[in-house]
Amino acid sequence: MGESFLSADWYRVAPLKCRLRAHVEIHRQRFRGQTWHLVQDHHTGKFHRITPAANLIVCLMDGRRTLQELWEEACERFEDEPPTQSEVIKLLSQLHAADLIAGDIPPDMGEMGRRHSKQERQAMLARLRNPLALRFSVFDPDAFLNATVWLVRPFFTVWGLLAWLGLVGTGAAFAAIHWAELTDNLADRVLTAENGLLIALAYPLVKAIHELGHAYAAKIWGGEVHEIGIMFLVLIPVPYVDASTSSAFPEKRRRIVVGAAGIMVELALAAGATLVWVHAESGILTAFMFNVMLIGGVSTLFFNGNPLLRFDGYFVLCDLIEIPNLGTRSNKYFWYLVQTYALGVPEVESPVSAQGERGWLLFYAVTSFFYRIFISIAISLFIATKFFVIGVILAIWAISNVFLLPVAKGLKFMFVSPKLRGRRTRATVLAATSLGCMALALFALPVPYATVAHGVVWLEDRAILRARAEGFVAEVVTERGEVITGETILRLEDPVLASETEITLARLDELRLRLASVLLIDLVQANLLREQIRHFEGKLELATARSEALTLKAGRPGWVLVPGASDMIGRMFREGEVVGYLLDQADLRLRVAVDQDQAELVRGRTGGVEVLLQRDLTHPVMAHLSRNVPESRAQLPSPALSTSAGGEFALDPTDTEGRRTLQRVFQFEVIPDEPLPVSYIGERALVRFDHGHEPLGFRFLRSLRQLFLRQFDV
């Protein structure tokens, strides 16, 4: 429905003689080379942006000329793009709704009352709609600011800026130097109880100074600041200040400074705190300063400075790229694109009013949408973990605002909007097809599904070769390779044992001779010697056995591995010490640590298993899961699987052994089906558990369920 030039309702307004009311001020601003006018309402503190043509009409409203005259004049002046009558009526009705104009006819009291109550209701609804950011006005700081503004005036000069740069630069430099100390064990230091108290003290203080920054910045250039209050952001009280008068500033630079003042103040605070932290003795003061640095440096940049949230960063960005009202208009632009190109609705009004806005609008629409979803869910989950019932209610509320409201609006547009008349079928088919495709892709299109986990090569005890007697290595016969039963693997020698044997043999000879000499003479003596001979014979037998044990032979056929064989000659092994391994294929196992989220899947739905040794990722080896029930415990099979060794599991920092984990881990045993070219035991391997094919949607649902299970222990 194109807007026609003339309006059937024009006769109603044509004879009106309106005048602008006293509390209205108009400011001229330039955005992207175009002139716009900002109508400021000093009563409500609201702004209305109007086009030059509208501005002409508004400016000419003196209570003497009729609207017809004004319109004709505007048409003459703006010959190329004259304002249509409907546009003028719309403008007039907006001005009237905002109480900016007075007419020459008596006001309709009933209508005014209705309008007022409607505005109140809308304000109320706006609060309800956003329970995560409730605002409560506290007092009017204007007089206070006026009285104290001289104090801060020096800061808003070139010298002030230089000083700020210097301070922040120094702070940054110090922070960089002490980076390791600053970040060491960060989580532990921040999340302790006493630190919580310090944060609770520092946070409001820093934020209050932040807000004062905005207020003074606005004040310096003649703005008015009439509202300071407390906002409950995600239930945490934060001060806020209404510095919106700054949007009337004609200079872009000043608007940006007002917007950025808060962040700048916080950064300065953080820099100062860094200096104190570096130079002061460790104690409560440094701990406090540390928190100031944390709030002023980190949280400000990521929170206030983030243009995707509607805080300082957003307003700075708007002014920086000269696209006022970026958020709303980017949404509009997105819908404009959908309507024009996807649905083919003609004559949709594009919110783009200047060159180069398109890219920004589209970019912002998409990124902020996803960011909003992300942050809503994150915040809701956070609250829900703290206060379950309130949190869940809030979460449902927030999520329905982000998801359901747009969906409901979309549906309403689909079925009711007059814009789609004649195109409803096309729109419905298009929406249904795209939704269908999405559903199909999510829930019907099978996608290979596998879990990849880290494991270590592991052995059964009987595969370990141990030295059977103490000795020095004389020769390594088989370093690695197949052996048959009885084949020598390693020879040890024990010089002491050899000489002992010789001595024993000599003593035996001696004793035997002595026995022969006394045998017939002295029976008692002979028996004594006989006993001694028996003793030495036993000793000899033992020595022989030991020397035999020095030669390590394969007890069964298999595959031998003697690690570090080349350095082994002359090395001493005690009895029972591990010398090498004799592997049967049945002995080789992999111990795989699996996250508890995946454990159920790995246990219940594993088809094939593939093992890739970390050393050689190109040759997968097939394997299967052992039938043993996996163990669930907060321990890793090997420190090699911890984060410090490049694995996935974070270790408990208090554990000295380096195997205890923070979360529970499932240990699975995997048995390779083919010989595994293992080079050493404890070697890391990637193990891929194949779960066949599954559409992505089900996976998503599963992760969601697990997320809930984990978050709420339900």
The residues binding other proteins (CB under 8 A) are: 2, 4-6, 8-13, 16, 18, 72, 75, 79-82, 84, 89-90, 92-93, 95-97, 101, 103, 105-106, 108-111, 114-115, 346, 418, 421-422
Provide the minimum distance between the beta carbon of 239 and other proteins in the complex, in angstroms, as a whole number.
36
Contact between 35 and 52 (Cβ < 8 Å): yes
Closest CB to other proteins among 8 and 520?
8
Alpha carbon distance 203, 296 (integer Å): 9
Provide the minimum distance between the beta carbon of 419 and other proteins in the complex, in angstroms, as a whole number.
12
Closest CB to other proteins among 110 and 495?
110
| Alpha carbon separation from 260 to 241, 313, 316, 646 (Å, rounded) | 13, 7, 6, 41
Closest CB to other proteins among 88 and 490?
88
Provide the minimum distance between the beta carbon of 74 and other proteins in the complex, in angstroms, as a whole number.
12
Alpha carbon distance 443, 695 (integer Å): 5
CB neighbour burial string for 133-146, b if at least 16 within 10 angstroms, e if fewer: eebeeeeebbeebe
Q: CB count, 10 Å around CB of 583?
A: 21
Amino acid identity at 467: A
Provide the minimum distance between the beta carbon of 31 and other proteins in the complex, in angstroms, as a whole number.
24
Closest CB to other proteins among 53 and 560?
53
Closest CB to other proteins among 101 and 676?
101
Provide the minimum distance between the beta carbon of 409 and other proteins in the complex, in angstroms, as a whole number.
13
Closest CB to other proteins among 4 and 626?
4
Provide the minimum distance between the beta carbon of 226 and other proteins in the complex, in angstroms, as a whole number.
28
Provide the minimum distance between the beta carbon of 11 and other proteins in the complex, in angstroms, as a whole number.
4
Closest CB to other proteins among 89 and 621?
89
Which token pair is 414?
Answer: 């689909």
Provide the minimum distance between the beta carbon of 5 and other proteins in the complex, in angstroms, as a whole number.
4
Residue 408, C-beta contacts closer than 8 angstroms, at least 6 positions apart = none
Closest CB to other proteins among 12 and 30?
12
Alpha carbon distance 601, 619 (integer Å): 25
Alpha carbon distance 652, 660 (integer Å): 6
Amino acid identity at 108: D
| Dihedral (Cα; 483, 484, 487, 489), 10-degree rounding | 20
Closest CB to other proteins among 346 and 675?
346
Contact between 454 and 593 (Cβ < 8 Å): yes
Which token pair is 103?
Answer: 């007419």
Closest CB to other proteins among 16 and 149?
16
Provide the minimum distance between the beta carbon of 55 and other proteins in the complex, in angstroms, as a whole number.
18
Provide the minimum distance between the beta carbon of 40 and other proteins in the complex, in angstroms, as a whole number.
20
Provide the minimum distance between the beta carbon of 13 and other proteins in the complex, in angstroms, as a whole number.
5
Provide the minimum distance between the beta carbon of 244 and other proteins in the complex, in angstroms, as a whole number.
26
Amino acid identity at 252: K
Closest C-alpha among 621, 617, 614 to residue 585: 621
Closest CB to other proteins among 169 and 346?
346
For tokens 């928190």, name the residue: 291
Longest dimension (CA), the chain: 161
Contact between 248 and 37 (Cβ < 8 Å): no
Closest CB to other proteins among 386 and 412?
412
DSSP 461: G
Provide the minimum distance between the beta carbon of 122 and other proteins in the complex, in angstroms, as a whole number.
12
Closest CB to other proteins among 118 and 534?
118
Question: How would DSSP label each residue in 489-550?
Answer: EEEEE-HHHHHHHHHHHHHHHHHHHHHHHHTTT-HHHHHHHHHHHHHHHHHHHHHHHHHHHT
Closest CB to other proteins among 96 and 684?
96
Closest CB to other proteins among 17 and 514?
17
- In degrees, rounded to 5, the angle at the alpha carbon of residue 83 between the alpha carbons of residues 80 and 87 is 150
Closest C-alpha among 64, 61, 54, 3 to residue 28: 54
Question: How would DSSP label each residue in 132-186?
Answer: TEEEEEEE--HHHHHHHHHHHGGGGSHHHHHHHHHHHHHHHHHHHHTHHHHHTTH
Alpha carbon distance 97, 379 (integer Å): 36
Alpha carbon distance 130, 122 (integer Å): 12
**Which sign does the torsion angle of CA 528, 533, 539, 541 carry?**
negative
Provide the minimum distance between the beta carbon of 80 and other proteins in the complex, in angstroms, as a whole number.
7
Closest CB to other proteins among 102 and 276?
102
Closest C-alpha among 327, 332, 366, 326 to residue 349: 332
Provide the minimum distance between the beta carbon of 352 and other proteins in the complex, in angstroms, as a whole number.
18
DSSP 1: -
For tokens 């109603």, name the residue: 12
Closest C-alpha among 291, 310, 308 to residue 244: 310
E strand spans, 42-160:
46-50, 101-102, 133-139
Provide the minimum distance between the beta carbon of 206 and other proteins in the complex, in angstroms, as a whole number.
44
